[in-house]
Structure 1
């Protein structure tokens, strides 16, 4: 009889412990979601959805003509120069400069850097920042290129434009972004136009003309 009581007592303790453990597991699982979502990148711009690609005259009107004249723009503050389409509206802020015409844009910004960027470092550093702060960034590709005046890293991607100040409309853009490094300075040259515009040769001319002075 004594062994029977001991066994019954032991079984009772084991059953009690199992019930406590099962209750705890059930409570924990009810507090957790069925699946943990991957965190999205913060910032309102990164949450935008791509706008439809425009077509017809809006695209052809953004082609830089083969007969387009170019002039040399020199930044005495930034110590660089490049060829830009003549007649485009210019805005300057210290070493930074931008040129615009219709839906075309050309921009150069200057920042400090410690070393020459490469496709590998750009994928890990600049691209995540671009995706987080840009407008509906898609189709990102990165590669190293050799230009007449030295090496550069090229990022190609599509994005939404800023909303029009009057109509609030946006267009889908394709962008070529070149990174040039020299003596602790990083120049970022960004060329933008509506998706489908034929500016390949003109963009190549602008990028190949960039040099430090």
Structure 2
């Protein structure tokens, strides 16, 4: 009888230990305080996505106190921030941010640093292209990628987005222009208009 009880207790101790080790393993990456979260999965793009900017859309000049200007869609909801501004209409958006930089970004430096931070901070980000482009304002870096949107506050639904980012540099100043819309929306001409209209003041 004693041997039987010993075996049962020994087995239970083993199960408890294995369970504890499995749970503890979840906390390794968070310095013992936060569980490891699974990477966010890319949501499926919609078959008939909304988000096309109409061909009749009017664009107006936006001049930033940060020393640059460009054309943005008239009537979009504008929000000013300490580091820039955003213009949003439903699932489409234009985000401008300004920061300091020691040198102009290159394709190589963008891939090695900026893209890694973008993938780490974004939602299921998948970068498909990083290229140097010539624009009226000068040389810039263009980043093309897809990502998930923020969850809807009411439905918690997410949308797969297509994004373009342009990095403009001058005199220690880096301006980022982010353009986004549901994946599959046709905004090629409108996005080109905005990115090409960027100019330093």
> Normalised by the shorter chain, which TM-score bucket?
0.7 to 0.9
The residue number in structure 2 matching 1:65 is 54
TM-score where L is the length of structure 1: 0.75
Structure 1: how far apart are the matches of 2:124 and 2:87? 23
CA shift for structure 1 position 44: 8.0
* Structure 1 gaps, min length 5: 1-39
The residue number in structure 1 matching 2:175 is 187
Give the total of aligned pairs: 168
The residue number in structure 1 matching 2:43 is 51
Specify whether residues 90 and 196 from structure 1 end up closer, same or farther in structure 2 by C-alpha distance, changes over 3 A only: same
Counterpart selection for 2:92 from 104, 114, 117: 104
Task: Indicate the structure (1 or 2) with the bigger Cα radius of gyration.
Answer: 1
Q: Which has the higher helix share?
A: 1
* Regions of 4+ moved over 4 Å: 43-46
8 A Cα contact 1:181 1:187, kept in partner: yes
Structure 2: how far apart are the matches of 1:81 and 1:179? 14
> Per-residue displacement from partner, 1:155-199 (whole Å, max 9, x unpaired)?
000000011111111000000000000111100100000110000
Question: Secondary structure of the residue that 2:178 maps to in structure 1?
Answer: strand
Counterpart selection for 2:188 from 197, 200, 210: 200
RMSD: 1.8
Structure 2: how far apart are the matches of 1:180 and 1:199? 21
* Structure 2 gaps, min length 5: 1-28, 30-34
TM-score where L is the length of structure 2: 0.80
